[in-house]
Amino acid sequence: MRSDDASRLPKHHSTMHHVALLIGGNQGDRRRLIGQATEQIRHRIGSVVASSSILETAPWGEFDERTEVLNFLNQALWVETSMSAHEVLREALAIEAGLGRVRQGSPHEGDSPADADGAHASARTGQGYGQPAASPLPLQPRLYHSRPIDIDLIFFDHAVIDTPDLVIPHPCMHRRSFVLVPLSEIMPEYVHPVLGKSVRDMLNALSGEALDIPANTHPSPRTHCGDGK
């Protein structure tokens, strides 16, 4: 369950950072895996100073599977760490692998090509956050995969990071209620460093599409983010 609202957290020494993570999955014992991932995050990355409730959501996008795709459980964490963003990414990928995750692509697997490929420019210019790109990349359908655990870096302090293996803020988070709903529980006043809008405002902008619901209730269908997930 949630702890203190991250928007009221005290300031810390400049060598410490805060990272917003979204963890979840739709394979195996989902709650146990989220618990194990959280413990590994505490051990390998830093202190979990705020956590949202766990939400159950319907799968979103086209999955490369012929059997029924199970619902996802998702939880947001606000973590204090002395690591850099890339060090957090490295540890997150190691935690995923240790819990049985086999990635089919890049660390941004699960994002649509419009967001994953176009995000590197958008991090600095705002392209991909509602502004048209000067030379848009062609959109191609992308298939997604069920996974026992997924750890996504959503925010890192108020940084804007643009590298081949890491884009922060997460380039599609502002269109995803399953990200914004749990984030709004723990950091509603946090302002997106590119869009200039708070988590609460971004969620309100999806008022007709806020499709996340508490666990153990019937999920609603999702809308699309770009041409993929």
pLDDT in tens, 94-143: 999 999 877 665 444 444 322 333 332 233 334 444 444 443 444 344 45
pTM, 2 dp: 0.71
* CATH number, span 6-136+147-214: 3.30.70.560
For residue 17, give the nearest of 70, 113, 81 by alpha carbon.
Answer: 81
List of residues 6+ apart from 216 with CB closer than 8 A: 56
Strand partners, 73: 25, 56
* Most confident residue range from 80-89, 95-104, 117-126, 167-176: 80-89
pLDDT tens by residue, 144-155: 567 789 999 999
Percent share of the chain, pLDDT over 90:
51
Q: Torsion angle, CA of 73/16/154/65, rounded to 10 degrees?
A: -50
